[in-house]
Amino acid sequence: MTAQQSTGHRETRTLRSVAKFNLVALETHRRELGEVRRVLKPGGLLLADFPCTDTTDYRLMRTQVSTGQIAEVEPNTFVDRRPGLEDTDDAFLPHHYCDEADLHDLLISFEIIRLWTSMSESKDGRGTRGKWIASARRPPLPM
């Protein structure tokens, strides 16, 4: 989803803030973040979350790739193409998992205010679940 699709804005530098929640491939992240930067006013805020590589979910994806159950369509981006997935299952969508270096690379055109993980033990006791959360600002225009 582009910023235009999610906000309805075509104009450049018109929004004060954008929230972005992700289940997309790395290249899609890059395009979307470019669009978010375009529509944010200088100093405008971005709040985004990204799946984290330091989780049980990520390790499960790695195992499923090694057994041929799901596909890794680009590094750390997984898609389940098996027939018969339930309508409520979003595994058919690309899920890109990030580490801190990925996020610094993705957010290079922003000023990172804060970058942190939100982690917790899963309710089923199988391990850690969580995500990265980024708060960033579109840099002000040069004087």
- Residue 119 forms part of a structural domain: yes
Any domain includes 17: no
Between strands 15-21 and 40-51, the pairing is parallel
Q: What is the pTM of this model?
A: 0.79
Of the ranges 33-42, 102-111, 131-140, which one carries the lowest mean pLDDT score?
A: 33-42
- The answer to whether position 97 is within a domain reads yes
13 found inside a domain: no
| Nearest alpha carbon to residue 60 among 130, 126, 142 | 126
* 83-100 per-position pLDDT tens digit: 887 777 777 888 899 999
**Helix or strand holding residue 130 (H, E):** strand 128-137
Mean pLDDT over the full length of the chain? 85
- Encode 27-41: b = buried (16+ Cβ within 10 Å), e = exposed: ebbeebbebbbbbbe
For the record, the structure tokens of 120 come out as 């917790």
| Residues spanned by the domain of 81 | 23-137
Is 95 part of any domain? yes
CATH number of the domain residue 127 falls in: 3.40.50.150
Whether 6 is in a domain gets the answer no
**Cβ atoms 46, 18 nearer than 8 A:** yes
